A and B are shown apart, each in its own frame.
Chain A
Amino acid sequence: MADAKILPLAVVGLGFRVGDINVLDGATFDIAPGSRNIVLGPNGAGKSVMLRLLHGLLTPTSGRVGWSNPDALAVRRAQAMVFQRPVMLRRSARENVEFALHVAGVRNVRNAADLALDRAGLMRLADRPARLCSGGEQQRIALARAWALQPEVLFLDEPTASLDPAATNAIEEAVNAMHRAGTTIIMTTHDLGQARRLADRVLFLNHGRLVEDAPAVSFFAQPTSPDAAAFIRGELLW
């Protein structure tokens, strides 16, 4: 894990506008070290955009993302992201992990890659072309690739959206293992069950607005906003 810490994170008035549409509108919240934060909300709520803004893949049109470390390079290196659709390079699973380590400047990439694959229970796939693995296996390789970088903060954008229960369980176990190892988790989902299983804290988004920010226990027991209450009840939000 990177020596220079980048948390806590202070997000102030974060917004992203495309033309006349506010995809994300003035989100303000903090992220503390060591927490599992679930960004919850229906499709189109702005969850994925918010993750990309935090990770630096998009530039906010308003507000700011304030990491505690002013060193931009340290901030970039202390983060990793797993996408909804894993992007595998056209090479073996091991070489996919090695590529990430090589880019990060790690010297002995072979050992580090094998360690990451072993931790994720993927050694049997190490030499298999990554693109020929199943969707669930590819997502686990993507997670192992992120894990190999030992990030302080891991972003996950609906990593189990198209996976079966067994693959979902494997991903959730890996996420929990990374969390136990000290990584702060920021993950989007629209799956209430998954949010209940993984969240220490819930950030509930709807129509691009941060509607509720609460500890998971109180969010599910006593949501304070009508939108969150309706979402928990399984009602359709328009």
Chain B
Amino acid sequence: MQEISQSLSLAVALITSLDSTLLSIAGLSLRVSGIAVLAAALLALPFGAWLALARFPGRQGVIAVLNGMMGLPPVVVGLLVYLMLSRAGPLGPLGILFTPAAMMIAQALLIFPIIAALARQVIEDAWGEYREQLVSLNASRAQCMRALLWDMRFTLTTAVLAGFGRAIAEVGAVMIVGGNIDGVTRLMTTAIALETSKGDLPLALALGVVLITMVITINLAAQWVKSTAVKNHG
């Protein structure tokens, strides 16, 4: 118990003194997960909207697979990305294995199904309300998708945030494709795992506190944006 309290006070000291190692790891984590979320959202939101409006044989199967992929094991995604990016893999010539770019790809692949599946559900629910009006206005499929994505933007931020939460808290995939190289690919989660195994609990705890604070702050901000927007836009 005493060890925990000592570690906690050291962790607080690291945070309040803006420890450079801590800031560097937290900054890289934010950059990797932020870009991964952006890239995944840019593809997943239109895909989710398309799937919500499209009608084709096997659509239910695609939805079931997409929903199932929300629970993709990170280590499996990490392994697949590793195989793709390793020297013998098809994307080996890119030479990005064990770089932040590789971690971004792995995280983007992990969260694409989450954002796409949630967006599909949100847009499909909205489509039930908007369909007749948009069809009556002769809106094309693309115009319907754009209108629905824009109108549901505040709800969809929740989907994107769910993806961000998954990305920034993920450890297995980024450990495999990033390698946890100090100063290069060491993220908060991989650093916590490493420091814990080394017995350096203060840094691990400090990183844990920063990680949780970051996730909660971003979610609170998004919640505030959503409630304010609903108040202002209906």
Option from A52, A57, A76, A129 in Cβ contact (under 8 Å) with B233 = A129
Least Cβ–Cβ distance between B53 and chain A, in angstroms: 15
User: Could you say which residues of chain A place their CB within 8 Å of the CB of B152?
Assistant: 90
B147 and A99 contacting across the interface, CB-CB below 8 Å? yes
B133 and A83 contacting across the interface, CB-CB below 8 Å? yes
Pick from B130, B135, B136, B233 the residue with the most CB of A within 10 Å.
B136
B233 and A131 contacting across the interface, CB-CB below 8 Å? yes
Bits for A76-110, please: 1 = Cβ < 8 Å to B, else 0: 11011101000111110000000110011000000
Option from A55, A90, A91, A131 in Cβ contact (under 8 Å) with B136 = A55
In B119-151, the 8 Å CB interface with A consists of 129-130, 132-133, 135-140, 143, 147, 150-151
CB of A177 within 8 A of chain B? no
B143 and A103 contacting across the interface, CB-CB below 8 Å? yes
Q: What's the interface size class on B, roughly?
A: 10 to 19
Least Cβ–Cβ distance between B175 and chain A, in angstroms: 42
| Contact flag A91-B233 (CB < 8 Å), given A55-B136, A81-B136, A103-B138 | yes
| Contact flag A87-B234 (CB < 8 Å), given A57-B136, A100-B137 | no
User: Could you say which residues of chain B place their CB within 8 Å of the CB of A57?
Assistant: 132, 135-136
Q: What's the interface size class on A, roughly?
A: 20 to 34
Option from B132, B143, B151, B232 in Cβ contact (under 8 Å) with A83 = B132
| Chain B residues within 8 Å of A, Cβ to Cβ | 129-130, 132-133, 135-140, 143, 147, 150-152, 232-234
A131 and B138 contacting across the interface, CB-CB below 8 Å? no
B136 and A80 contacting across the interface, CB-CB below 8 Å? yes
User: Could you say which residues of chain A place their CB within 8 Å of the CB of B147?
Assistant: 89, 99
User: Could you say which residues of chain B place their CB within 8 Å of the CB of A130?
Assistant: 234
CB of A32 within 8 A of chain B? no
A89 and B151 contacting across the interface, CB-CB below 8 Å? yes
CB of A161 within 8 A of chain B? no
A90 and B138 contacting across the interface, CB-CB below 8 Å? no
CB of A230 within 8 A of chain B? no
Seed contacts A57-B135, A80-B136; 4 additional CB < 8 Å A-B pairs: A52-B132, A81-B136, A90-B151, A129-B234
Sorted nearest first, the 9 A-B pairs with minimum C-beta distance are A131-B234, A87-B133, A90-B151, A132-B234, A81-B136, A129-B233, A103-B139, A129-B234, A103-B137
Least Cβ–Cβ distance between A150 and chain B, in angstroms: 14
Least Cβ–Cβ distance between B154 and chain A, in angstroms: 8
Least Cβ–Cβ distance between A71 and chain B, in angstroms: 13
A88 to B233, CA, bound (A): 11
A79 to B137, CA, bound (A): 9
